């Protein structure tokens, strides 16, 4: 176990350092990816204008991006989350199988999961990988590509492209946004080469919300009426949310 | 329509992050002290958020650079551990997270020791499941850390039969500094867009990690951190660490 104290150097950080370091990364990523974010946001808007949904894919901690866009207060309605845990919830694999460290690299689970949902020909796929792509994510993306769907990729290009699975995944994307975050996804140095804390999801969640703003404005500029969800925890929101989600009933919640 | 761009959101979100850092650091350090105390005594930290708040637990657990003695509780555990059916869990006419009198069953599902601490996250802090779990854990003598939007929770009535809100049950309460309804940007219509609680939530989660490590270090205690296995030898370290907490964090 790691035991650090003043004799061996201890640790020299506090939480203010996390705030200042992440702000530098955020500022850089925002400026560096400005055009890519705008292009992706508009392309997402184009899918929505054809009554298509964006299928959101991310596994493990990479679900953060999907959760930030899918059925989110202040977010746009036409998203659906592709959730690996649905395989367990729907009784297709056991919890023990799901918790196996190699589960996400099984090729067979991709078809099983993709086949669970009511996916319309107009739908597109958005894949989020902060750091390391798994085989199952690549296989799902290949299915979507074979079905001629638009593919959006958001992730740390530097991290994801370290191996062949990641490189293949990135190549499949029609639109790419780079988080501009380091590999490994750790930030502050605790001691020597021991690092703690992560930054990718800070940038990812920020980008998700920035894309919401851009897609909203794009649709408004085209005289569309973007469907925006209200917080379910505000009095009266249920009626509004049910009304706009019923347009996609059986799809957004498939 | 007001001028809405990604830069407008970015600037407002960054201002809110500054507010969080300036206004809530004392509470975050206090929460870290409670967690560090639990870890020093071989306890663990249970993290529970329903809805989008589940992201807080995901941010804290199972990643290189994260503390190992963190256990994420999910409402979907009700299904995966056989306490209810998927149909019941997803019933649109009886929202699961709003239901009272079921959370004690969640508590009983896990290996919880007296020295363990609970972090309970809810932006609104008004729903049945989170309030009930806080009541149950508090009754068992655990320290409770609450993360909520004070602006939101003070503006909405509780949905719990007791009339209580989550923040009233916290030994430490951290305000995520988000607005009522979570969305930040005015559109000129009834709806606002672009939520912020998940972003400030990540900052809170990461702050707790830093401060817990700092406190453990200052107290000359072991720091149970999951290391990046890119470095030779760390795989063995991680395996031993995970073995130590086996059955309690998964």
Enter the ipTM.
Answer: 0.94
CA distance A202 to chain B (A): 6
CA distance A14 to chain B (A): 6
| Count of alpha carbons within 13 angstroms of residue B60, beta-carbon side | 33
Q: Residue B134: helix, strand or coil by DSSP?
A: helix
Is the predicted pLDDT of residue A201 greater than 70, yes or no? yes
Are A233 and B25 a contacting pair at CB < 8 A?
Answer: no
The nearest alpha carbon in chain A to B124 belongs to A233
Is the predicted pLDDT of residue A107 greater than 60, yes or no? yes
Q: What are the tens digits of pLDDT across the range A37-95?
A: 999 999 999 999 999 999 999 998 899 999 999 999 999 999 999 999 999 999 999 99
For residue B97, how many other CB atoms are within 10 A of its CB? 18
Instruction: Among A17-21, A101-105, A142-146, B18-22, name the one with the lowest average pLDDT.
Output: A101-105
pTM, two decimals, is 0.95
Q: Average pLDDT, stretch B29-51? A: 96
Decide: B157 and B184 in contact? Cβ < 8 Å.
Answer: no
> Which one is predicted more confidently, B19 or A191?
B19
For chain B, what is the domain count? Answer: 1
The nearest alpha carbon in chain A to B183 belongs to A74
Q: Average pLDDT, stretch A200-208? A: 98
Cα distance between residue A185 and residue A63, in whole Å: 16
Write the CB contacts of B198 (distance below 8 Å, at least 6 apart in sequence): A64, A67, A68, A205, B52, B55
Predicted local distance difference test score (pLDDT) of residue A236: 81
Whichever domain contains B159, its CATH number is 3.40.50.10490
Is the predicted pLDDT of residue A21 greater than 60, yes or no? yes
Instruction: Among A190-194, B86-90, B195-199, name the one with the lowest average pLDDT.
Output: A190-194
Q: Which residues of A touch B54 (CB under 8 A)?
A: 67
> Which one is predicted more confidently, A11 or A180?
A180
Q: Has residue B116 been placed in a domain?
A: yes
Q: Has residue B178 been placed in a domain?
A: yes
Which of B93, B73, B66, B96 lies closest to B84, judged by CA? B96
Is the predicted pLDDT of residue A234 greater than 90, yes or no? no
Cβ-nearest to A18 among B10, B206, B241? B206
Q: Has residue B1 been placed in a domain?
A: no
Predicted local distance difference test score (pLDDT) of residue A7: 54
pLDDT band at A24, cuts 50/70/90?
very high
The nearest alpha carbon in chain B to A38 belongs to B6
Predicted local distance difference test score (pLDDT) of residue A193: 76
What mean pLDDT is reported for chain A?
Answer: 93
Q: What is the DSSP letter of B47?
A: E
Judged on CB neighbours under 10 Å (0-12, 13-18, 19+), A115 is exposed
Q: What percent of chain A has pLDDT over 90?
A: 83
Q: Has residue B191 been placed in a domain?
A: yes
Q: Has residue B249 been placed in a domain?
A: no
Q: How far is CA A108 from CA A100, A105, A147, A239, in A?
A: 15, 9, 18, 40
Counting one residue from chain A and one from chain B, the pairs whose CB atoms sit within 8 A come to: 217
Predicted local distance difference test score (pLDDT) of residue A4: 55
The answer to whether the peptide bond before residue A196 is cis (omega within 30 degrees of 0) is: no
The nearest alpha carbon in chain B to A208 belongs to B194
Q: Average pLDDT, stretch B226-237? A: 81
pLDDT band at B172, cuts 50/70/90?
very high
Is the predicted pLDDT of residue A186 greater than 60, yes or no? yes
Predicted local distance difference test score (pLDDT) of residue A158: 96
Predicted local distance difference test score (pLDDT) of residue B137: 97
Cα distance between residue B58 and residue B176, in whole Å: 17
Q: What is the DSSP letter of B52?
A: G
Q: Which residues of B touch A190 (CB under 8 A)?
A: 213, 223, 225
Q: Has residue B82 been placed in a domain?
A: yes
Backbone angles phi, psi at A212, to 5 degrees: -60, -45
Instruction: Please name each of the domains of chain A with its CATH number.
Output: 15-248 (3.40.50.10490)
What mean pLDDT is reported for chain B?
Answer: 93
Which of B98, B76, B176, B163 lies closest to A232, judged by CA? B98
Are A228 and B21 a contacting pair at CB < 8 A?
Answer: no
Q: Average pLDDT, stretch A202-211? A: 98
Judged on CB neighbours under 10 Å (0-12, 13-18, 19+), B132 is buried
Q: Residue B102: helix, strand or coil by DSSP?
A: coil
Are A88 and B80 a contacting pair at CB < 8 A?
Answer: yes
Write out the residue range of the structural domain in which residue B194 sits.
6-244
The nearest alpha carbon in chain B to A60 belongs to B58
Q: Which H or E element spans position B92?
A: none
Judged on CB neighbours under 10 Å (0-12, 13-18, 19+), A184 is buried
Predicted local distance difference test score (pLDDT) of residue A14: 87
Cα distance between residue A141 and residue A149, in whole Å: 9
Mutate to test the interface with B, among A196, A211, A223, A227 (most CBs of B within 10 A): A196
Predicted local distance difference test score (pLDDT) of residue B5: 93
Which of B131, B220, B210, B221 lies closest to B170, judged by CA? B131
Is the predicted pLDDT of residue B1 greater than 70, yes or no? no
Q: Which residues of A touch B183 (CB under 8 A)?
A: 73-74, 230-231
Q: Average pLDDT, stretch B224-239? A: 84
């Amino acid at each position: 176990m790691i035991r650090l104290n003043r004799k061996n150097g201890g640790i020299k950080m506090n939480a203010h350092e996390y705030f200042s370091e992440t702000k530098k990364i955020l500022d850089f990523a925002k400026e560096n990816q400005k055009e890519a974010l705008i292009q992706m946001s508009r392309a997402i808007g184009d899918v929505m204008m054809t009554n298509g949904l964006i299928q959101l894919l991310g596994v493990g901690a990479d679900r953060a991006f999907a959760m930030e866009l899918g059925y989110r207060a202040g977010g746009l309605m036409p998203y659906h989350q592709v959730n690996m845990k649905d395989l367990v919830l729907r009784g297709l694999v056991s919890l023990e199988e799901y918790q196996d460290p190699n589960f996400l690299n099984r090729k067979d689970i991709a078809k099983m999961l993709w086949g669970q949902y009511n996916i319309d020909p107009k739908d597109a796929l958005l894949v989020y990988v902060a750091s390391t792509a798994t085989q199952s994510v690549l296989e799902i993306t290949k299915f979507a590509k074979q079905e001629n769907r638009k593919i959006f990729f958001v992730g740390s290009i530097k991290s994801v492209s370290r191996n062949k699975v990641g490189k293949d995944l990135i190549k499949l994307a029609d639109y790419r946004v780079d988080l501009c975050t380091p590999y490994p996804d750790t930030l502050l140095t605790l001691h020597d080469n021991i690092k703690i804390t992560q930054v990718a999801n800070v940038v990812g969640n920020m980008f998700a919300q920035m894309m919401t703003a851009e897609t909203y404005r794009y649709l408004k500029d085209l005289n569309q009426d973007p469907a925006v969800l209200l917080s379910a925890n505000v009095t009266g929101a249920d009626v509004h949310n049910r009304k706009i989600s019923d347009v996609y009933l059986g799809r957004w919640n498939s | 329509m007001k001028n809405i761009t990604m830069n407008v959101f970015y600037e407002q979100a960054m201002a809110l992050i500054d507010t969080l850092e300036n206004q809530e650091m004392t509470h975050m350090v206090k929460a870290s002290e409670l967690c560090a105390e639990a870890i020093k005594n071989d306890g663990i930290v249970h993290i529970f958020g329903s809805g989008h708040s589940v992201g807080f637990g995901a941010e804290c657990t199972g990643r290189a650079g994260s503390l190992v003695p963190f256990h994420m509780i999910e409402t979907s555990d009700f299904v995966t551990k056989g306490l209810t059916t998927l149909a019941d869990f997803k019933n649109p006419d009886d929202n699961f997270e709003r239901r009272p009198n079921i959370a004690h069953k969640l508590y009983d599902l896990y290996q919880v020791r007296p020295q363990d601490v609970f972090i309970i996250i809810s932006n609104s802090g008004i729903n049945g499941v989170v309030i009930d779990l806080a009541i149950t854990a508090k009754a068992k003598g655990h320290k409770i850390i609450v993360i909520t939007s004070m602006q939101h929770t003070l503006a909405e009535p509780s949905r719990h039969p007791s009339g209580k809100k989550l923040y009233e049950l916290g030994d430490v309460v951290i305000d995520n500094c988000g607005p009522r309804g979570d969305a930040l940007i005015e559109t000129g219509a009834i709806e606002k867009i672009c939520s912020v609680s998940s972003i400030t939530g990540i900052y809170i989660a990461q702050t707790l990690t830093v401060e817990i490590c700092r406190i453990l270090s200052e107290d000359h205690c072991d720091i149970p951190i999951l290391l990046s296995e890119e470095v030779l030898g760390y795989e063995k370290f991680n395996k031993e660490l995970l073995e130590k907490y086996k059955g309690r964090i998964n």
